[in-house]
Amino acid sequence: MSGRLTRRRVRLLAGVGAVVAVIVVLLMTGLGKDPSVIASPLVGRAAPNFTLPQLDGPPVTLAKLRGQIVVINFWASWCTECQVEQLALDQTWQQFRDSGVVVLGVDFEDSTDAARSYVRTDGVAYPVVEDSSSKTALAYGLRGVPETFVVNSSGRIVKHVIGPVGGAALTSDLNSMLARAQ
Amino acid sequence: MSQLGTYLLLFGLAVSGYGLLAAAVGAKAGRPALVESARRCAYALFVIVAAAAATMLAALLTNDFAIGYVAGNSARETPVFFKALALWGADDGSLLLWNLILAGYIAAVALRFRTDRPPTFPYALSVLFAVQVFYLILVNGPARPFASLASPPADGRGPAPLLQNHPLMAVHPPFLYLGFIGFTVPFAFGVAALLAGQGSDQWVSIIRRWTLVVWCFLTVGLVLGALWSYSVLGWGGYWAWDPVENVALLPWLCSTAFLHSVMLQERRGMARLWNIALVIGAFALTTFGTFLTRANVVSSVHAFAQSSVGPAYLAFLALVLLGGFGLVAWRLPELRTPASLTSAISREGAFVANNVLLLAATAIILLGTTFPLVVEAVSGQQITVGGPYFRSAVTPVFLLILLLAGTAPLLPWRATNRARALRRLRVPAAAAALVMIATAWAGVHQAAAVAGFGLATLVFVTSGQEILSGLAIGRHGTRGGAMRALARGRRRHAGLVVHMGLALVAAGIIASSSLAQQDQVTLKTGQSTVFAGQVLRYQGLHADRQPQRIVLTATVAVTNPGGGSAGTLDPRMNLYPATTAPIGSPSIRRGIVWDLYASVISLQDSGGSATFRFYRNPGVNWLWFGGLVMALGGAAAAWPGRRRRDPGGDKGVSPARGRTAVEAGAR
């Protein structure tokens, strides 16, 4: 490129650089957000109670789990993104099951056979209930699957994640909740 | 297939990387052989990227759920048509389309300049390849459309319900992409001119036509998007000032400004720096818009969930802004314009005003779109800027733009003969006044609406009158033929046609936003209501189980005031297994003057009663038609013409120099 680096040019270039820097910094603040954590109107409210039949085991009533932290995960065997988060949920269950945390899968719009075979092949270790009438899904204002609600020991929803949950974020949330409880 | 696609994309990246290097080194070292090899690379790149997109298409059509994208966006029961559309239904796949269109543009540039190459060509080619390298890095790194799943599911999730509800999804995104991505070409030639140190006006004549074509695509894309929103979303409107709609409008406004100010440079050698800044600005705005859409920075109906490309886009945007405007700053001394404005009331003055207004509209919309970001960054509060801000801030600017479009075509260059312009304004001004009186008399009381109808009339009549007088000159002229006269002043006449389209669009927007009626009613089966003078009777619900969804249709019989049947409306609700919320489909009885539009809001007692929202939307179809007229006018202006030495259709209006050199350069 021809031309000398005059003082005027330096000033102009510095100006362009400064404006671009401001724009970039501003836009960067937007990047830090996690769009899957939404300000759900349910957060802070009591989790709607339910009693649902377990795939393999006795029915589960949410109210009876009061005193424990419950991670309610809505999923379905036909849902690809549910597979993505499956491992993180299993690890959370293994890590926290003895510290008063329950991971509970709620099967949504699914057939019992498909759900069973999914649980078997993907090695889902935590309890899974069936919401065959979708009443629980409606009560939780479900938009689709996967969606995850974290309910604290006093039965209030403290977090709502749309889309697959991240294992690290869930672990740190649970750790801080458990620390606060002690 | 996952592997084939992955390798193709990797290969494409390598080829475009080579193209970038070869073109850049060839340009710098003056080695034509290298440039030629880079030029041929463009064809190879297009074939490779097309093969990658075809691979994804094949995977979608053959239900290859081992590919995560296919499993997430298609299902066995999805109709074949919508399986194919899933190619651009989500982030990763749409980046494939993006790459394909960009490669297509590069191949088109390579083909266009296969023999006669301006000195800036090698630089432009390297800029084009550089942009393609970025987009190919995206699909090889942060977004991986061909990523495979460890254990493929038996069936996929299916496309997002909204995207499998209407065939317009087949055309809206491709047109919008053709428009968005197309701005890469003017940007590349603008930057090339700066890199090569070409202070001349040659670059501008090269890209005028490219920009026009791209502008037409974007116009069609925007109109189709509005039409989709109107026909699918069921809220009775077509433009919601959603951030993603806004960012698609921004480059359109910016490039419209360029298409006008480019004439200043072609005719008078003015506004060189300005024009380059506009071209770079338009491309930067498309990049910014893409960043905003795909990085989840703002919430929007268009936002792609879970995208990981944000930081990459931001880096690219910074590079475009720094590189583009840094180069402008560097070349500032050489780009200084020799000519200056002789009179404010002249064609030149009007073009300057046009640019000021269009950029003011751009700034207002950009501000409103990014304001929530600024507030959140500064105070941590989440706010949204809605329609009222945009409507109240933009309306006066758009009205002034109409005033300008209705008068500026009459103004002479350099302001030699203003009396003639005033004389020619008589008929349009009288028509506008008449329409304003008529609308006010008919009961329209909003001042902006009355003024808007008047100004739209002014634009329409002025443009029509100028086209007709062009014809008349031909008829009485020495060389005959009305068509010949039209063809001779093609650029001017085509521009006037665009203005007529604009007048139609404006009238449609004003009518639909100020005169629409709506009502929400709950009807039991057999019950009826009167809306906008027509009797609407709910006849009952009909359920239809389709493989991929359940469709609930609520039939409403429409009766005219006189008692004659005016057909039925059948708004629907679609239930998809993947979502709990039903997706509504409105039913529209379209008419030249107004549409009757119905949506089902909710159903009670298994369809024994239903809540409807009815709309009477005047002028909506003028908007679609006007958009088509604008695009056709733009296409006519961009259409390649014959070389000739003839100052042509601006005869009598323009005492400035002829267009021969410019036209020849643009070809």
| Each residue's pLDDT tens digit, A63-111 | 999 999 999 999 988 776 777 788 889 989 999 999 999 999 999 888 8
Question: Where in chain A are the domains?
Answer: 51-181
CB-CB under 8 Å, B317 with A35:
no
B299 pLDDT above the threshold of 70:
no
B403 pLDDT above the threshold of 90:
yes
Residue B576 φ/ψ, nearest 5 degrees: -105, 145
| pLDDT value for B655 | 33
Give the burial class of B271: count Cβ atoms within 10 A of its Cβ; 0-12 exposed, 13-18 middle, 19 or more buried.
buried
| pLDDT value for B338 | 64
Mean residue pLDDT of chain B comes to 85
Q: Which helix (H) or strand (E) holds B556?
A: strand B550-559
Which of the residues A11, A33, A86, A165 would you substitute to probe the B interface, choosing the one with the greatest number of B C-beta atoms within 10 Å?
Answer: A33
CB within 8 Å of chain B, chain A residues 131-160: 134, 137-138, 142-145
Tell me the two tokens of residue B287. 């990049």
- B588: Cβ–Cβ under 8 A, 6 or more apart, which residues? B230, B231, B569, B595, B596, B597, B598
ipTM of the complex: 0.73
Question: Where in chain B are the domains?
Answer: 1-159, 517-620
Which of the residues A27, A120, A136, A165 would you substitute to probe the B interface, choosing the one with the greatest number of B C-beta atoms within 10 Å?
Answer: A27
Q: Which CATH number fits domain A51-181: 3.90.1170.30, 3.40.30.10, 3.90.1150.10, 3.40.50.800?
A: 3.40.30.10
Search chain B and give the residue with CA nearest A166. B306
Q: Please tell me what DSSP assigns to residue A62.
A: G
The 8 Å CB, 24+ separation contacts for A2-5 are A2/B197, A3/B197, A3/B330, A3/B331, A3/B333, A3/B334
Q: How does residue B626 score in pLDDT terms, banded at 50, 70 and 90?
A: very high
Chain B interface includes A111 (CB < 8 A): no
- Using only the alpha carbons of chain A, give its radius of gyration: 23
More confident residue, A30 or B316: B316
| pLDDT value for B265 | 83
pLDDT tens-digit series, residues B42-68: 999 999 999 999 999 999 999 888 898
Q: Which helix (H) or strand (E) holds B261?
A: helix B243-268
CB–CB of B170/B47 below 8 Å? Answer: no
Q: How far apart are CA B158 and CA B624, in angstroms?
A: 31
Residues of B with Cβ-Cβ distance to A78 under 8 angstroms = 75, 153-157, 577-578
Q: Please tell me what DSSP assigns to residue A165.
A: P
Q: How does residue B652 score in pLDDT terms, banded at 50, 70 and 90?
A: very low
pLDDT tens-digit series, residues B212-243: 999 999 999 999 999 998 988 888 889 988 88
CA B399 to chain A, closest CA, distance in angstroms equals 31
CA A2 to chain B, closest CA, distance in angstroms equals 7
Search chain B and give the residue with CA nearest A23. B318
pLDDT tens-digit series, residues B128-187: 999 999 999 999 988 889 988 877 887 887 787 777 777 888 888 899 999 999 999 999
B666 pLDDT above the threshold of 50:
no
| pLDDT value for B183 | 95
pLDDT tens-digit series, residues B422-463: 888 999 999 999 999 999 998 888 889 999 999 999 999 999
Nearest to B317 by CA among A26, A103, A80, A132: A26
Q: Which helix (H) or strand (E) holds B600?
A: strand B594-604
